[in-house]
Amino acid sequence: MMIKSLRFRNATLAKHVVRRIRKLAPKEDTLKVCHVCGTHEWTITHFGLRTLLPTNVEVIAGPGCPVCIVPASEIDEAVQLALNDLVVTCFGDILRVPGSKMSLLDAKAEGADVHVVYSVGDAIKMAEREPDKEFVFFAIGFETTAPSTAVEVLKQPPKNISFLISHRLIPPAMKVLVEMKDLSLNGFIAPGHVSTVIGLEPYEIFPKIYGMPTVVAGFEPLDVLFGVYMILKQLSQYKPCLENEYVRAVRSEGNVKAQKLMKEVFEVVDGNWRGLGTIQSSTLRLRKEHEAYDARLKYDVNIQQSSVDIPPGCKCHLVIIGKIKPTECPLFMKTCTPQKPVGPCMVGSEGTCRIWSKASRTNLN
Amino acid sequence: MCLAIPARVVSITGDNAQVDFGEGVLREVNITLVEAKVSDYVLVHAGYAIQVLSEEDAQETLRLWNEILEAEVKINNK
């Protein structure tokens, strides 16, 4: 019998840990703890965790929304394929993310064949059912999603489906954040679900090289509070290290099989992130032996126009790195709303602006 | 997208498993990436199980939390 999740939401334990956090918080300096996962942001905002923390302990949201950081140029590629009479299959979150001129939803409104699927496997089943049509799967997502694409590529799906690979890796983006001097971070809450796949080793550089306390945390409110507490404890003892709070899901070696399949199918290359620019060794590309499934090569995808990642007035590039809160953007809930999003952070359910738009004002601090 | 949901494995057929997300919500997911048995709890992300959850480790988390806090209380009472 699985433990009831309610035990991970025990209010008395939460009060105790908050009291500990308050005791460990510095008297004057401000501490900035950064997480890089949309689901962490949801937990923090939904449960109003920021309101429980001392005002000088800030928890900021980094680039943890996998659709927000897909650059407009890659949306443009998917749109180009969709407008060229291919069936484009994708996850629902990416549908409304703006490209330079239009989103995939706009393309669909113009008659393009765009289908939302639950998984890459469902896209392949569609291709198998309709062998006369050409399909493309828009493969977005971090290390949590990339292994599923690898599984299907290795199974050699039918030749009428190919992949527009847009997978990205989290640790290289964390490295960019830690090196941003003006962001002055004091600790990382590492993403629990990405860590189930990659394990702990990729985070070791943060405490070792940058002296940055790093704690892999789960997604219950108590997981996040304990994550903050463990970081504060490390800081108070001047002993930055890597700790795993989410032991019920994250093994130190990660999911070795998933890592092996990813290595077999993908190579790591430099890539552009919306709001962050080019990050070294941060995106995946199909290896040469699998390039028959690469939609970019198969259909000679070529985006001519320069793409606009951040529309005028939009502050998503600052929200994505946690430099400002969504409420500090002049467009937030005025011209940019979930019904009519301007920037990518208001689109996906894991976008910081989208999460904040749904939160009660009293839960935001 | 990075959301992963725990589910209990009900039955296994090859690379696929019927899983229960709770309250009777059943769905077929792919279990190629994990070594899962019937009645294990798996973490499901976009139709693929990415890790097997351990009840022992979940108990360990709760025990550890209590232990950390108790240790703190003792230190502060000294």
- The residues facing A162 across adjacent strands are A136
| Helices of type H across chain A | 11-24, 38-46, 49-52, 72-83, 104-109, 120-129, 146-154, 170-179, 192-198, 205-210, 221-236, 256-265, 295-298, 316-320, 352-358
List, for residues A225-263, the tens digit of each pLDDT value.
Answer: 999 999 999 999 999 999 999 999 999 999 999 999 999
Which pLDDT value is given to residue A213? 98
In which band, very low, low, confident or very high, does the pLDDT at B55 lie, cut at 50, 70 and 90? Answer: confident
pLDDT for residue B35? 95
Q: What is the pLDDT of residue A192?
A: 95
Q: How many angstroms separate the CA atoms of A38 and A63, rounded?
A: 8
Q: Where are the domains of chain B?
A: 5-77
Quote the tokens at residue A40.
Answer: 């962490």
Size of interface A-B (CB pairs under 8 A): 128
Interval A320-359: pLDDT, tens: 999 999 999 999 999 999 998 999 999 988 899 999 998 8
Q: How far apart, in whole angstroms, are the C-alpha atoms of residue A58 and residue A146?
A: 31
* Mutation for testing the A interface, residue in B21, B26, B50, B73 having most A CBs under 10 Å: B50
Homologous superfamily of the A72-169+276-298 domain (CATH): HypD, alpha/beta domain 2 (3.40.50.11740)
Q: Can you give the pLDDT at residue A1? A: 43
Q: How far apart are CA B60 and CA A167, in angstroms?
A: 34
pLDDT above 90 (res B70):
no
Mean pLDDT of A140-164: 97
Interval A28-54: pLDDT, tens: 899 999 999 999 999 999 999 999 999
Q: What is the pLDDT of residues B1-44, one digit of tens each?
A: 567 888 999 999 999 999 998 878 899 999 999 999 999 999 99
Confidence label for A305 from pLDDT (cuts 50, 70 and 90): low
Residues A56, A47: contact at Cβ < 8 Å?
no
* Residues of B in Cβ contact (< 8 Å) with A148: 30, 33, 45-48
Name the residue ranges covered by the structural domains of chain A: 72-169+276-298, 326-358
Sheet holding A161-167, edge to edge: A114-116, A87-90, A135-141, A161-167
- Best of A7, A89, A148, A223 to mutate (most B CBs within 10 Å, chain B): A148
Among residues A315, A305, A341, the alpha carbon closest in space to that of A73 is found at A305
Q: What order do you get walking across the sheet with A187-191 strand by strand? A: A57-61, A31-35, A187-191, A214-217, A242-244
Residue A176 pLDDT grade (very low, low, confident, very high; cuts 50, 70, 90): very high
Residue A178: both structure tokens together:
């830690």
Of the candidates B46, B53, B59, the beta carbon closest to that of A145 is on: B46
- pLDDT beyond 60 at A4: no
> Which residues of chain A does B72 touch, with a Cβ-Cβ cutoff of 8 Å?
20
Please tell me the pTM assigned to this model. Answer: 0.93
Phi-psi region of A274 (alpha: psi -120 to 50; beta: other; left: phi over 0): beta
Region for A130 from its dihedrals, namely left if φ exceeds 0, alpha if ψ lies in -120 to 50, beta otherwise: beta
| pLDDT averaged over every residue in chain A | 94
The predicted structure's pLDDT at residue B77: 61
pLDDT at A20 over 50: yes
Closest approach of B39 to chain A, Cα-based (Å): 9
Per-residue model confidence (pLDDT) at position B1: 57
> In this predicted model, which residue has the larger pLDDT, B50 or A9?
B50
C-beta of residue A254 within 8 angstroms of C-beta of residue A199: yes
pLDDT tens figures, A68-114: 999 999 999 999 999 999 999 999 999 999 999 899 999 999 999 99
Q: What is the pLDDT of residue A354?
A: 95
Question: CA of B74 to nearest chain A CA: how many angstroms apart?
Answer: 13
Q: Is CATH 3.40.50.300 the classification given to domain B5-77?
A: no
CB atoms closer than 10 angstroms to residue A41? 26
Q: In whole angstroms, how far apart are CA A212 and each of A32, A174, A184, A231, B14?
A: 11, 11, 11, 9, 44
- Subunit contact B2:A37, Cβ cutoff 8 A: yes
pLDDT at residue A365 in the model: 63
Task: Name the least confident of A7-21, A110-124, A250-264.
Answer: A7-21
